[in-house]
Amino acid sequence: MAEAFDRWLPYIQPVAETLIDMADISQGHAILDVASGTGEPSLTLARRYAKAGISVVGVDSAEAMVARANKKAEIEGLTCLKFRQMKAEALDFENAQFDRVISRFGVMLFDDPLRGVSEMRRVLRHGGKMVVAVWGAFHEVPSLHLIWEVLMKAMPEEERPPAPRIGRLGARTDLEALLEEAGFEEDKLEITPFILNYHYDDFESYWEISTSAGILKEPFDTFSAEAQADLKKEVEKLSLSYCENGQLIFKNKALLALAGK
């Protein structure tokens, strides 16, 4: 996953830009990026504010992700940025150590989102801000949901895997409830929907990127080559409703939450 993940980065870069704007970074800020994957949004942040004396720590539970992220920071000479392997649910930092805590597309994947977000709040200083991005409900992320539905229908019911975690906090009320349970006050919370347009030049590129890595790969690989070819034909037919001017365009929904402490 660490190797294949970067192909999605250009698609989700607009979320990094908006999340960083919302975080309202100032000179000298100490920033924590939780579930930093292969380095974003930390890398964008460090490039943008390198001369403003900020320090950024990115943490992720997956060792391979952390290694890849550190390599990128090293190649770019971003000395204000460091990545460490750590679970969100057990952050190895003092209370109130950070001015900003950010996370893009991580919280809904945590084993224990309440514990993770409570930890993120604990390490945030009073007056600090946290900004997190999560995906909308699974059906609101059509670039993945379209293929998932076709795969699930083709599988015997008893063999179907549970729905992926990505949509777990996709209802605004669920995200709000989680943040409040973690201790953030309602009047310091702002949740905004964000639509990410995923563009593909043709069906082939959509199919290749979607089935070669990520959450669709595992269920897809359980089918024979012949069945996979049939599934592809079916998805191609259904994808016509996302065709605009010769391109495939999926409007995937995310939620951005800004929470003050």
Cβ proximity to ligand SAM: between 87 and 261 the closer is 87
Q: How many CB atoms lie within 10 A of CB 250?
A: 19
Per CB under 6 A, which region of 61-69, 122-130, 145-153, 200-208 contacts ligand SAM?
Answer: 61-69
106 binds ligand SAM (CB under 6 A): yes
Per CB under 6 A, which region of 48-56, 83-91, 179-187, 188-196 contacts ligand SAM?
Answer: 83-91
68 binds ligand SAM (CB under 6 A): no
119 binds ligand SAM (CB under 6 A): no
Cβ proximity to ligand SAM: between 106 and 142 the closer is 106
Q: Please give the Cα distance from 131 to 147 (Å, whole number).
A: 30
Cβ proximity to ligand SAM: between 10 and 53 the closer is 10
How many chain residues bind ligand SAM (CB under 6 A)?
18
113 binds ligand SAM (CB under 6 A): no
Contact with ligand SAM (CB under 6 A) among 18, 61, 118, 252: 61
Q: Please give the Cα distance from 24 to 252 (Å, whole number).
A: 25
Which residues, including other chains, have CB under 8 Å from residue 170's CB and lie 6 or more apart?
108, 134, 135, 136, 137, 138, 140, 253, 255
167 binds ligand SAM (CB under 6 A): no
For the record, the structure tokens of 235 come out as 């998805």
238 binds ligand SAM (CB under 6 A): no
Cβ proximity to ligand SAM: between 110 and 207 the closer is 110
Residue 50: helix, strand or coil by DSSP?
helix
Phi-psi map region of 220: left, alpha, beta (phi>0 left; psi -120 to 50 alpha): alpha
Cβ proximity to ligand SAM: between 74 and 204 the closer is 74
Which residues, including other chains, have CB under 8 Å from residue 77's CB and lie 6 or more apart?
none
Cβ proximity to ligand SAM: between 40 and 140 the closer is 40
132 binds ligand SAM (CB under 6 A): no
Interface mask (CB under 6 A) for ligand SAM, residues 11-50, using x and -?
------------------------xxx--x----------
Q: Please give the Cα distance from 6 to 174 (Å, whole number).
A: 29
H runs (alpha helix) in the chain: 2-5, 9-23, 42-49, 63-76, 113-122, 142-153, 172-181, 203-212, 217-221, 225-239
170 binds ligand SAM (CB under 6 A): no
Burial status of residue 241 (CB atoms within 10 A of its CB: 0-12, 13-18, 19 or more): exposed
198 binds ligand SAM (CB under 6 A): no
Q: Please give the Cα distance from 152 to 155 (Å, whole number).
A: 5
Q: Please give the Cα distance from 85 to 54 (Å, whole number).
A: 21
Binding residues for ligand SAM, rule: CB under 6 A, are 35-37, 40, 60-62, 65, 87-89, 104-106, 109-111, 116
